Amino acid sequence: MKSVKMKLIKLKNKTIKFSKKVVKEHLIREYYKKNVLFCTFVLTCIVNSTLLRFFCMHTMENYLSIKPIIADLMIVTFVGSFGYLIKPKNRFTYYLIAEIFFTAICMINSVYYTFYTSFASVSMLSLTQYIGEVGDAVVENVIQLKDLIYLIGPITLIAVNTKLKRINYYKKVEPKAERKKRTIRTLSASGIIALLFIVTLNSLDVTRFIKQWNREYIVMRFGIYIYQANDLVTSLQPKINALFGYDQANKKFIEYFSEKEEPSKNEYSNIFEGKNVVVIHGESMQTNVIGLKFNGQEVTPNLNRLASEGMYFSNFYSQVSVGTSSDTELTFTTSLMPTQSGTAFVSYSDRTYNSIPKEMKKKGYYVYSMHANNADFWNRRAMHESLGYDRFYSKVDYNVTKENTIGLGLSDKEFFKQSISKIEKESKEHDKWYSLLIMLTNHTPFSETEKYGEFDVSIKEKVTKEDGVVEEVTYPYMENTKLGNYFKSIHYADSALGEFIDNLDKKGLLDNTVFILYGDHDARLPKKDYNRLYNYDKEHDKVLDSTDPNYKEYDSYQYELGRKVPFIIWTKDMKGTDLNKENTNVMGMYDVMPTLGNMFGFYNKYGLGHDIFSIKDKNIVVFPNGNWVTNDVYYNSQKGEYLSLNGKAISEADIKKNNEYSTKLLDVSNQIIVFNLLKQDEDENKVIETQEKVK
Ligand code: GP9
Ligand code: MN
Give the pLDDT confidence of 307-334 residue by residue, as tens digits: 999 999 999 999 998 889 999 999 999 9
Please tell me the number of the ligand nearest to residue 439's CA.
Answer: 1
Q: How far apart are CA 433 and CA 423, in angstroms?
A: 9
Please tell me the distance between residue 585's alpha carbon and the centre of ligand 1 in angstroms.
28
Q: What pLDDT is attached to residue 241?
A: 80
Mutate to test the pocket of ligand 1, among 216, 325, 346 (most ligand atoms within 8 A of CB): 325
Q: Whose CA is nearest to atom 9 of ligand 1?
A: 325
Please tell me the number of the ligand nearest to residue 565's CA.
Answer: 2
Q: How far apart are CA 179 and CA 324, in angstroms?
A: 50
634, containing H or E segment: strand 633-636
Mutate to test the pocket of ligand 1, among 118, 213, 283 (most ligand atoms within 8 A of CB): 283
Q: What pLDDT is attached to residue 216?
A: 80
Atom of ligand 1 nearest to the CA of 438: 5
How many Cβ atoms sit within 10 Å of the Cβ of residue 572? 16
Model confidence pLDDT, tens digit, residues 97-133: 999 999 999 999 998 887 766 788 876 664 433 334 3
Q: Whose CA is nearest to atom 3 of ligand 1?
A: 325
The ligand 1 site (C-beta within 6 Å) comprises: 324-325, 373, 377-378, 438, 440, 443
Please tell me the distance between residue 24's alpha carbon and the centre of ligand 1 in angstroms.
50
Q: Whose CA is nearest to atom 10 of ligand 1?
A: 325
pLDDT band at 497 (very low <50, low <70, confident <90, very high): very high
> Any idea which of 25-39, 446-460, 653-667 has the lowest mean pLDDT?
25-39
Q: Which residues pair with 634 in a beta bridge?
A: 629, 643
Q: How far apart are CA 261 and CA 603, in angstroms?
A: 11
CA 241 vs. chain centroid, Å, equals: 22
Please tell me the distance between residue 654's alpha carbon and the centre of ligand 1 in angstroms.
37
Q: How far apart are CA 619 and CA 629, in angstroms?
A: 9
Please tell me the distance between residue 135's alpha carbon and the centre of ligand 2 in angstroms.
32
Q: What pLDDT is attached to residue 60?
A: 58
C-alpha distance from residue 402 to each of 399, 408, 499 (Å): 10, 11, 22
Q: Whose CA is nearest to atom 1 of ligand 1?
A: 377
640, containing H or E segment: none
Q: What pLDDT is attached to residue 592?
A: 98
Please tell me the distance between residue 323's alpha carbon and the centre of ligand 1 in angstroms.
9
Average pLDDT value over all residues in the chain: 90
pLDDT band at 420 (very low <50, low <70, confident <90, very high): very high
Q: What pLDDT is attached to residue 472?
A: 92
Q: What pLDDT is attached to residue 21?
A: 62
The residue ranking higher by pLDDT, 255 or 213, is 255
Q: Decide if pLDDT at 137 tops 50.
A: no
Q: What pLDDT is attached to residue 207?
A: 79
- Amino acid found at 485: N
Judge residue 671's burial from the number of C-beta atoms within 10 Å of its C-beta, 0-12 exposed, 13-18 middle, 19 or more buried: buried
Please tell me the distance between residue 324's alpha carbon and the centre of ligand 1 in angstroms.
7
Q: What pLDDT is attached to residue 637?
A: 85
Q: Decide if pLDDT at 412 tops 90.
A: yes
Q: What pLDDT is attached to residue 146?
A: 83
Please tell me the number of the ligand nearest to residue 375's CA.
Answer: 1
Please tell me the number of the ligand nearest to residue 444's CA.
Answer: 1
Q: Decide if pLDDT at 682 tops 90.
A: no
Report strand pairing: 567-570 vs 311-313: antiparallel
Please tell me the distance between residue 394's alpha carbon and the centre of ligand 2 in angstroms.
16
Mutate to test the pocket of ligand 1, among 281, 324, 489 (most ligand atoms within 8 A of CB): 324
Q: What pLDDT is attached to residue 12?
A: 64
Please tell me the distance between residue 285's alpha carbon and the centre of ligand 1 in angstroms.
12
- Contact (CB, 8 A) for 438 and 517: no
Q: Where are the alpha helices (DSSP H) in 259-387?
A: 301-309, 324-334, 344-347, 356-362, 380-387
pLDDT band at 135 (very low <50, low <70, confident <90, very high): very low
> Any idea which of 219-228, 293-302, 429-438, 484-493 has the lowest mean pLDDT?
219-228
List, in order, residues 6 or more apart from 672 with CB less than 8 Å away.
Answer: 253, 336, 606, 678
Q: What pLDDT is attached to residue 132?
A: 40
- Contact (CB, 8 A) for 47 and 152: yes
